[in-house]
Copies of this chain bind each other. A is one copy, B any other.
């Protein structure tokens, strides 16, 4: 393959930012499959154009990246069949027709968050819509295609609450939970929502979500790391999940069977050190099994409303919520009614706080739980030191 001819042929298709290094990186996004760590390592060591020139030379790859001879030979063997001149020419034409822009890491619109993937970071991002949407703080809401009405309802509620706070809803545009989340985000006024696809971003997949994807592209962005026209293979679905996790401050699994693919997204969030939340559901519902596994075994945080989702992502506590606020106020009134010295019974605390006895007792129960109150037959007292 004549690298210079390839690059020269690509430049006219790359718009105003066209230059050889960008062209070489875009070409690489067609050569390497998503998450190819050898390609990632190579591109972090040498410029994309130089990397292209040594792509067929395992010794050079090994020398540049420091990886073993065997891994370098494997990588070169993987890339070989794709190193032909017209690899991305069709993709570039499709991109122009569908107004898809291509981002590389040097672009100001590049979402730095994905670089946390290290050698597994995307090489380029193909974006239908507004590339700046990728840098809006986002929260991933993902889940099973085989969702229940309950799951779709909750996904919708969470997405609306997230979007209303000006936070982007990131998901995978699948049927079920993903679709419900995107749709609900679009229905809010700000409505930023980003769909990350496993195939080319100009291909509507699933086909039944063509209109939904068009609306997402018109409002924010549909993004893929593979070139336009590329097929959504099984491997690309799994690796796409890491991009969803990486683009997001936190990932929340709304509903997932015991073996749902969204557990894979959860895994990526966890390995990136990003907060992971799971929505509980009826224990009798197989569609919530995966969420309960995340809560039990993987230390996921139990989230039940949009305020808790925002809190999980570090975007302000759930305080403003009416229910939480009321609870907090009444708690404060009980705390005020307590003495650390003199024991008081629930009846007296009810009188002092102006709350019902049953309410006071429930609040005392929760304060007992956190150790901020002690009680015996002499009555309830504030714990020393609280």
Contacts and interface: CB of A to CB of B under 8 A. Distances in A.
A386 to B, nearest CB: 14
A59 interface: no
A264 B361 contact: yes
A365 interface: yes
Given A34-B377, A120-B376, A301-B296, A365 B263 contact: yes
B365 A267 contact: yes
A235 B346 contact: yes
A238 B345 contact: no
A283 B285 CA distance: 13
Residue among A268, A280, A295, A347 having the largest count of chain B Cβ atoms under 10 Å: A280
Nearest to A260: B362
Interface stretch (A18-26, A174-182, A210-218, A366-374): A366-374
A381 to B, nearest CB: 11
B296 A302 contact: yes
A131 B93 CA distance: 84
Interface string A24-43: 00000000111111110000
The dominant DSSP class at the A interface is helix
B271 A150 contact: no
B369 A266 contact: yes
A282 B120 CA distance: 37
B75 A378 contact: yes
A166 to B, nearest CB: 23
A283 B264 contact: no
A153 B371 contact: no
B234 A154 contact: no
B302 A267 contact: no
A74 interface: yes
A371 B266 CA distance: 12
Interface of A: 32-39, 71, 74-75, 78, 120, 150, 153-154, 234-235, 238-239, 258-261, 263-264, 266-268, 270-271, 279-284, 288-289, 292-293, 295-298, 301-305, 308, 323, 327, 343, 345-347, 357-359, 361-366, 368-371, 375-378
Given A150-B284, A154-B284, A259-B359, 10 more contacts: A35-B375, A71-B378, A74-B378, A78-B378, A238-B375, A261-B362, A267-B368, A292-B304, A295-B302, A302-B302
- 3 nearest A-B pairs in the assembled complex, by CB-CB distance: A280-B280, A259-B362, A264-B365
